[in-house]
Amino acid sequence: MVEDAQSQPLLSVRGLVKHYPGAKALDGVDLDVRAGEVHCLLGQNGAGKSTLIKVLAGAHQPDAGEITWRGRTVSLLHPQAAMALGIATIYQELDLVPGLTVADNVFLGREHSRLGLMRPATANRATAELMARLGHHEIRPTTEVGTLPAAGQQMVSIARALSQDARLIIMDEPSAVLDNEEVDRLFHVIRDLRADGVAVLYISHRLEEIREIGDRTTILKDGRTVATGISARDTPTREVITLMTGRDIEYVFPERREPPGADVQPLLEVDGLGLDGEFTDVSFTVRPGEIVGLAGLVGSGRSEILETVCGARRATTGEVRVAGRRLRAGDVAAAVAAGVGLAPEERKSQALLLGEAVYRNISLSSLARFTRRGLLSAAAERAVAEEQVEALEIRPRDVAREVRTLSGGNQQKVVLARWLVRDCRVLLLDEPTRGVDVGARSEIYALIDALAARGVAIVVVSSEIPEVLGLAHRVLVVNEGAVVTEAPASELDEHHVLDLIMESEAARLAQEQEGAA
């Protein structure tokens, strides 16, 4: 039964403090979460959200403050203690074991057994029921989880939380890798949980999601609670952003510049590119100073196109040319040498050396520049990195700091700084603002626009259609591995793009039915 709004909170946090070497991540956080509510947690990258989540999950210990659960003071000394109380956490960076099956991951540490013998059939049945509840019958319990796309892995992580019979589920950016239909399914599950009296602590940078699914909101800034218990639906957007940033900020894109004319020779040419099982016959050009966007649902083939252009995947048909010179298929080194840079979707696993310093991550693609007589000059690396940190306003400014300690927005700036140092001519950006707060987004948009103004040819992939339309001069709509239309961004809007995707999907299904008949 859902508790009354005035009753005792399920979870209460008072004056939470957490220090790390050289930084105070939490500096007095207060939070109340009621049973049967969706409580949203907002704040810029670096505001303390991730640290708070880890404390509530039992992964980190606070230095001061109090946590109460159902009115009783508790110490969450380890993750098992949090799970025993009924607190389940779904992290943004999924903590699945790639070599195990879906069912193994769902019940990891809580394996079904009888008389000491494992009972995989029981786990498989329970997992199948959970995936059906999430609307993903196609994810089989016996599938190796590492073979699933990012959206499928997210669903497995959510299924694991549901399997724990939790009373509070913490969801950190759960929609970041989901398409619109999958987000709708997720929200349906959240509403069912709320109706059953389960509390959800929901973290997202997408304010439209907060308004749709949230009940109340707490906002953090610089490790402190600046507002708590405010309405998720009725608080004006400008007020929310001001609380998050400490200043008024317009969540807008840079003024769109005139695209280069048809007389300007393309810098990037993609001709008839195909990759078996992923996409076919993709062709487009990008001129110096032009931004081209790829719009489509998760799984449409957008990311695979970028990865093939830069040589991370070997094309089975077609070719890529930079400044008229053909690139060797499947050769990343050749692409980088030609001036192609990629900022991938999963920056932590695909772009960054998390345990290395900021300066080393910035210099990574240009090490030959800092090498003299076979020796790498750390001083030269640091000097160039410091210039980029200053120019891009990467915070904190300590280039010797491990990059894992930076917020998502600052990590993304480090990836972009790497290609600025390399002086790349073609920049491929896959989900450039995923997990990035509204303040950092505006900075990244301005940086992308500045790069285009310098003559860099840019291709942007984003799950957020308004982002593609707001940044790009031209847009390619991709569905099921094929380009279904190409048009100037000024001639499209979000509804038009979605209509194009749905129309092409309907046509594909009709063709399949005709073939079956």
Q: Which domains does the chain have, with CATH numbers?
A: 1-86+199-249 (3.40.50.300), 268-516 (3.40.50.300)
Is residue 369's pLDDT more than 80? yes
Instruction: Specify whether the CB–CB gap between 98 and 86 falls below 8 A.
Output: no
Contact 475, 469 (CB under 8 A): yes
User: Given CA atoms 135, 139, 142, 144 in this order, what sign does their dihedral have?
Assistant: negative
pLDDT at 7 over 80: no
Average pLDDT over residues 428-432: 94
Average pLDDT, the chain: 88
The phi-psi region of residue 255 (left if phi > 0; otherwise alpha if psi is between -120 and 50; otherwise beta) is beta
DSSP 291-320: EEEEE--TTSSHHHHHHHHTTSS--SEEEE
Residue 482: both structure tokens together: 């094929």
Contacts of 509 (CB under 8 A, 6+ apart): none
Q: Model-level pTM greater than 0.75?
A: no
Tens-digit pLDDT profile for residues 378-387:
999 999 999 9
- Amino acid 4: pLDDT: 45
| pLDDT one-digit tens code per residue, 144-182 | 999 988 778 888 988 998 888 889 999 998 887 777 778
CA distance 283 to 263: 19
Q: pLDDT tens across 262-288, in order?
A: 899 999 999 999 999 999 999 999 999
In tens, the pLDDT along 193-246 reads 899 899 999 998 778 889 999 999 999 988 999 999 999 999 887 788 788 877
- Residue 496 parent element (H or E): helix 494-516
Distance (Å, whole) CA 371 – CA 116? 58
pLDDT at residue 251 tops 90: no
- At 30 the pLDDT is 96
DSSP secondary structure letters along 360-419: HHHHGGGGGGGEETTEE-HHHHHHHHHHHHHHHT-SS--TTSBGGGS-HHHHHHHHHHHH
C-alpha 449 chain-centroid distance: 21
Residue 366 in contact with residue 424, Cβ under 8 Å? no
Q: For residue 119, what are its two tokens?
A: 């009972």
- The alpha carbons of the chain give a radius of gyration, in whole angstroms, of 24
